[in-house]
Structures are given as structure tokens and as C-alpha cells.
Amino acid sequence: MGKPDLTLQVRRLCADGYRLYDSKEYRLALRSFYQAWLLIPKPQSEYAEAGWVLTAIGDTYFKLQQFEQGAESLTSALYCPDADKSPFLQLRLGQCLFELGRIPEARKYLLHAYHASSSLFDNEPPSYSAAIADLIPQHD
């Protein structure tokens, strides 16, 4: 990001946001994540930090069952450096798209997440792994 103090500020706000998120204070968490977003210079998509913040925002919208906003944030995160390599981002984006009824797109992201880290699905509702079950080789 160029300025270590800016990166530190973004990390602090995200840490505050995650504390609120972990306490199920999702709306307050969003406020912290958006404050972090506002610190990132334009064009934000050039900064890895933007990918972290957008993933956090998308994840929080998912928890609030605001799937359209979640999908939008997570899709934007894909354009940030290295964010497309995040299995968690792929999982959440797939879940948001699934909930929006955009099944072909959802399956693509869910499958990417599964191949990168199948354990991500361990604590998720079975409907998400069921959505890609026909794409996963079964072992006897």
C-alpha cells in the first residue's frame, strides 16, 4: 500500500470489525469495515488491503442475509491483488449467488472453494456441498 501507517490503520479497523462480527454485531462490524475501505486510496482495486476489506464486507452481508450486497462486494474483491486465490472468498461468493438463485455461477465458485479447501464446508449447511456433489469425484 506504500504507507505502513495506512496499512496499520486498515488492519486496526478490520480487527475492530472482526471483534464485532464475532459478537454477532454485524451492522456495527460493517461500519468498521467501511471505515477501513474509506482509508484505501483510489483506485482501491490496486491494493491487496481492498481485497481483505471487501471480503469482510461481503462476509458480513452474507451473515445479514443481504445476499445481493454480499455478492457485489465479493465480486469486487476478485479484482484486487491475490484475492481471487482466497478459498473463503470463493465460498462466500458461491453461497451468496446460491441464495440469489444464480446456481450455475454459484456452483463455479463453490467448486473452486471446495478444491482449494474442502474443510471450509465442514461448518456450513449441507445445501452448499450438495449443490456441487455431482462435480466432486466420490471415493469408495
Is 103 a residue whose pLDDT tops 90?
yes
Query: Greater confidence, 1 or 136?
Result: 136
pLDDT digits (tens, 9 = 90+) for 41-74: 999 999 999 999 999 999 999 999 999 999 999 9
pTM for the model: 0.93
When pLDDT is averaged across residues 36-40 and rounded to a whole number, the result is 96
When pLDDT is averaged across residues 89-101 and rounded to a whole number, the result is 98
33, 3, 37: which is closest to 16 by C-alpha?
33
What is the distance between the alpha carbons of residues 106 and 98, in angstroms, rounded to a whole number? 5
DSSP string, 5-23: HHHHHHHHHHHHHHHHHHT
8, 65, 61: which is closest to 34 by C-alpha?
61
89, 79, 81, 77: which is closest to 116 by C-alpha?
89
Alpha carbon separation from 125 to 79, 86, 109, 113, 128 (Å, rounded): 28, 20, 16, 15, 6
Check residue 113 and give its pLDDT: 97
Is 1 a residue whose pLDDT tops 50?
no
What is the distance between the alpha carbons of residues 125 and 31, in angstroms, rounded to a whole number? 27
Q: Sketch out the chain's domains with CATH numbers.
A: 1-83 (1.25.40.10), 86-140 (no CATH)
